[in-house]
Homo-oligomer: A and B are copies of this chain.
Amino acid sequence: MKKRIKEIPGSIVAPKGFSASGVFCEIKKLGTGKGSNKGLKRDLALIVSETPATVAGMFTTNQVCAAPVKVCVERVKKGTAQVVVVNSGNANACTGRQGMADAREMVSFTERALNLPTGSALVGSTGRIGVPMPMDNVCAGIIEAATLLGSTAEHAANAVEAIMTSDTKPKQIAVEFKLGGKTVRIGGMCKGAGMIQPGMSPTGARPATLPHGGLHATMLGFITTDAVIDAKVLQAALNEAVAHSFNRITVDGDMSTNDTVLVLANGLAGNEKLKTKNSKLKTFQSALHHVCLELAKKIVRDGEGVHRVVTVRVNGAKTVQDADAAARAVANSALIKTSWHGGDPNWGRIIDAIGYSPAKVVEEKIDIGYSANDSTKILWSLKRGQPTSATFKELCAAVAPKEFELHINLNLAKANAVMYAADLTEEYVDFNKGDVTDASSLGG
């Protein structure tokens, strides 16, 4: 992060003109499977800008895509919005025509409750799959949430609690920076935990060429800013930021039906409008990237059953697609993830996964090593395909911390990729094996 961008306390209500609320309207009570944290109460949040905001979004490329995602894709295209309504406890996915009608009613009802024009509201949902949305509860929640809006830390805390499912911690951030003398802020909150390996695009459509290994959480991310910025420029900035943050994380390799990131920019900072080639854009991009990356890492750290977080860096690949493929093969290998859990610096499993990945590799050129986070001091376990003189004890020490970096150099060319990955633990299995005494675990 550039020095001129500083983290400040706060969340989505840190930028000027944003308010939020979070209420309990019994969506979770009605729909709580084992995937929801039964200790949590709130399940519906509103994020509101006092003026119409420029908007951008990124959406799951899963072909099985929830109704709220479909509604947002349509609405984000228009480039403006003023409120986001989000619920947890029910994903409104695989709910057919009724699901689409319910998602549309959620935005319409929110607009009416806040006395805003049609088209002002966006919607996000997370929770059980395949269960009709309890619309009476949702509407009662929206009415209550509309009366409770405010801009204090408590308001933000209520909102973030309302979007959590199996998350054990709220995930929030805010940053501040100057653009031409004006103070600009970006705030954000997100939820994650399981079904996490997002692969999002601006329209939810897949790229013409799938990257090697395919595209692969329910993760929801909501970002607010008071920057003045053109809608297309905001979308381009979000594409770039998500490509290097939310789309680079994996907990379990499963991509959800509901992954969504939305940014609202209400322009109340009063800076000169950010446009392409505008010299200020770099600073904004850098700040947005920081917000997305920190939120993304919080998702991995708080992933279901996660004990260790490993940054997998692949360098020296022939193409970016190859670097990405090798990094994802390693980041999603059951054998490697279990060895991370055990604190075992097993390079045999790592070179094995690199070898079966779709990336072009040459065994005799592969280097594998470890470092502390963000350190350039790498302890190599393998050089050019052969074990180094590093001792087992030294290697164990390198993989003992709660977070470390794994460095893989293919030594073929210059392309690189990074993945933020998690270990695989007995707790993950226990949490996700389901509770067959509970019919509510059917979907999601």
Contact flag A355-B252 (CB < 8 Å), given A426-B426, A434-B344: no
Closest residue of chain B to A341, judged by CB? Answer: B433
Q: Mark A417-443, 1 if CB is under 8 A from B, else 0.
A: 000000011101110111110010111
Assess whether B442 is in contact with A347, with CB atoms less than 8 Å apart.
Answer: yes
Assess whether A348 is in contact with B94, with CB atoms less than 8 Å apart.
Answer: yes
**CB of A120, distance to nearest CB on chain B (Å):** 28
Assess whether A348 is in contact with B439, with CB atoms less than 8 Å apart.
Answer: no
Partner-contacting stretch, out of A236-244, A290-298, A357-365 = A357-365
Copies in the complex: 2
| Residues of B close to A442: CB separation below 8 A | 345-348, 387, 392, 395
**CB of A194, distance to nearest CB on chain B (Å):** 7
| Residues of B close to A255: CB separation below 8 A | 352, 356
In angstroms, Cα B393 to Cα A357, docked, is 40
Does any Cβ of B come within 8 Å of A52's Cβ? no
Closest residue of chain B to A352, judged by CB? Answer: B257
Of the candidates B96, B325, B338, B364, the one whose C-beta lies within 8 Å of that of A429 is B338
Q: Mark A94-123, 1 if CB is under 8 A from B, else 0.
A: 101000000000000000000000000000
| Residues of B close to A355: CB separation below 8 A | 62-65, 257
**CB of A297, distance to nearest CB on chain B (Å):** 20
In angstroms, Cα B347 to Cα A257, docked, is 13
Partner-contacting stretch, out of A4-12, A177-185, A209-217 = A209-217
**CB of A34, distance to nearest CB on chain B (Å):** 9
Q: Mark A192-216, 1 if CB is under 8 A from B, else 0.
A: 0011000100000000001011111
Q: Mark A334-347, 1 if CB is under 8 A from B, else 0.
A: 11001101111111
Assess whether B361 is in contact with A64, with CB atoms less than 8 Å apart.
Answer: yes
**CB of A168, distance to nearest CB on chain B (Å):** 18
Does any Cβ of B come within 8 Å of A333's Cβ? yes
**CB of A331, distance to nearest CB on chain B (Å):** 12
Q: Binding site of A, secondary structure by majority: helix, strand, loop or mixed?
A: loop
Closest residue of chain B to A213, judged by CB? Answer: B214
| Residues of B close to A346: CB separation below 8 A | 434, 441-444
Interface residues on A, range: 35 or more
Does any Cβ of B come within 8 Å of A256's Cβ? yes
Does any Cβ of B come within 8 Å of A349's Cβ? yes
Contact flag A436-B396 (CB < 8 Å), given A210-B358, A385-B96: yes
Q: Mark A349-389, 1 if CB is under 8 A from B, else 0.
A: 10111111110111110100000000000000010011100
Closest residue of chain B to A334, judged by CB? Answer: B252
Of the candidates B345, B364, B439, the one whose C-beta lies within 8 Å of that of A392 is B439
Lowest 3 CB-CB distances: which A-B pairs, in order?
A344-B434, A64-B355, A348-B443
Binding site for B on A (CB under 8 A): 61-65, 91, 93-94, 96, 128-130, 194-195, 199, 210, 212-216, 252-257, 325, 329, 332-335, 338-339, 341-349, 351-358, 360-364, 366, 382, 385-387, 392, 395-396, 424-426, 428-430, 432-436, 439, 441-444
